[in-house]
Structure 1
């Protein structure tokens, strides 16, 4: 596997568009763009494969970052650790530029990476070190089935089971855990969600959602989009009246592909 050549964590997977783990480089750089694919909670490999194929068939290499239970339970340790590993990998890999394709709660993982890079930027804005090169190389953000903190307790239950009684039980347990660990779990998520709302790097964003999503709140998603637009951010939206959480590509493939390709073309990528 290509991942082994870079000693990546078990929840990371690298796929190159030429299936070559020993990348040939030009002037020390990989020469190709890299997609950071942040998966949804407990995503299966066969679910993610279609997105890997989508990007690699278009000449992009792709690094998949899985969202694990530990990322939700201990974000300040688990998500932070993943973000550090991503920074180390990108510095070594040296892609031409970066795109971010995030799903559901995986978008919090991207916000953790952005949070670390912004904290470093505050001290080293004019430097040319690896982290500043990484921050400047992020060209855009594609957000699929985005979730907020208000969606999370019930959403986790719906991901784990279809039994309504068990969903309510899990929701209650998650809410209890949040209350008990507010100082070091909830505060972290609040900070990351605020970063998502502010989009301080003003990244061009394409967001996919539906009005009947049973996990992502339409009200919260709408507020997020309106907040971005009020700040004159570059936001492109695609909303379906009937679709499913993190399954928009499977159910509306032609439209999904059109929106992504149009978005990238507008950004001249």
Structure 2
């Protein structure tokens, strides 16, 4: 039986999806959560298409999650003070208002790691206000996560996937941008990366990486994994042979799903075994 999907824009960058019929007013205030349903926060990649993101949303909705999809426009990444930081603040407001969700899972792609770093930075600056959020996070999944130093490589590829010449021009501009606008941009990238590395939220983490991904490299991901392990974060890693940036699920769907569901199983977040079997 197909359930109705109800979708609400919490802000320009945050879409909330649920299988219940809820009003937009209650989403802004506090969703009445049925059966202690968990909440997934998807931190999308740059210029992601909704139909691609929905493939991931469906994996989780089959297991009874409600979902908040957070996206970032290229200009918001370029100018964090007026862009990504405000999106991070909106996300925290939404999570704070909706305290009925006692279990929050993060699933971030590429620059989604940077986005979450911005949120962690805001959390650190007002621990009292936001502690109720971090206490409810139960796990984190990072797919093709890119570090600050990879912004000049990843950003142009996201914007001009098929045009090498434009990629090269944009890369030069971004390198210039990061040197020139340290106050307005680069200091935020560095800060986000530092906060992300210190793992303030020490819940189990699953990494999806590919040997051929030049943006979310195996090296930078394994450095992060080692740092987190040393801080007591339980980590799991799946390294694929050759899938492009944020495309591991498309190239290796069964392996991806098997790994993801094994992780959810460890967190006691599986509600529908039949749906899993159908996908494997």
Instruction: Give the structure-1-normalised TM-score.
Output: 0.88
Contact 1:204 1:233 in 2 (8 A): yes
Aligned residues: 257
**In the alignment, does 2:119 pair up with 1:119?**
no
Superposed CA deviations along residues 153-191 of structure 1, whole A, max 9, x for unmatched, are: 021111222222221111000011111101231111101
Cα distance in 1 between the residues matched to 2:75 and 2:41: 20
Cα distance in 1 between the residues matched to 2:88 and 2:155: 22
Partner of 1:219: 219
Contact 2:212 2:243 in 1 (8 A): yes
Cα distance in 2 between the residues matched to 1:28 and 1:237: 34
Partner of 1:170: 170
Partner of 2:274: none
**In the alignment, does 2:44 pair up with 1:34?**
no
Q: 1:233 Cα shift?
A: 2.1
Partner of 1:140: 139
Cα distance in 2 between the residues matched to 1:39 and 1:268: 24
Q: 1:19 Cα shift?
A: 4.4
User: Helix, strand or coil: the match of 1:214?
Assistant: coil
Cα distance in 1 between the residues matched to 2:7 and 2:167: 38
Query: What root-mean-square deviation, in Å, do the aligned CA atoms of Structure 1 and Structure 2 show?
Result: 2.1
Partner of 1:107: 113
Partner of 1:237: 237
Partner of 1:48: 53
Mark the runs of 5 or more structure 1 residues left unpaired by the alignment: none
Contact 2:199 2:231 in 1 (8 A): no
Superposed CA deviations along residues 220-247 of structure 1, whole A, max 9, x for unmatched, are: 2222222223334211000011112111
Q: 1:14 aligns with which of 13, 16, 34?
A: 16
In 2 relative to 1, CA 252–19 (structure 1 residues): closer, same or farther, beyond 3 Å?
farther
User: Helix, strand or coil: the match of 1:171?
Assistant: helix
User: Helix, strand or coil: the match of 1:77?
Assistant: coil
User: Helix, strand or coil: the match of 1:2?
Assistant: strand
Partner of 1:97: 103
Contact 1:154 1:168 in 2 (8 A): no
Cα distance in 2 between the residues matched to 1:267 and 1:53: 19
User: Helix, strand or coil: the match of 2:76?
Assistant: helix
User: Helix, strand or coil: the match of 1:223?
Assistant: helix
Partner of 1:268: 268
Instruction: Give the structure-2-normalised TM-score.
Output: 0.85
Contact 1:11 1:66 in 2 (8 A): yes
Contact 2:44 2:112 in 1 (8 A): yes
In 2 relative to 1, CA 247–189 (structure 1 residues): closer, same or farther, beyond 3 Å?
same
Mark the runs of 5 or more structure 2 residues left unpaired by the alignment: 1-5, 270-280
Partner of 2:257: 257
Cα distance in 1 between the residues matched to 2:31 and 2:22: 15
Cα distance in 1 between the residues matched to 2:119 and 2:71: 14
Cα distance in 2 between the residues matched to 1:180 and 1:228: 32
Cα distance in 1 between the residues matched to 2:22 and 2:225: 38
Contact 1:158 1:215 in 2 (8 A): no
Cα distance in 2 between the residues matched to 1:200 and 1:247: 28
Contact 2:45 2:112 in 1 (8 A): yes
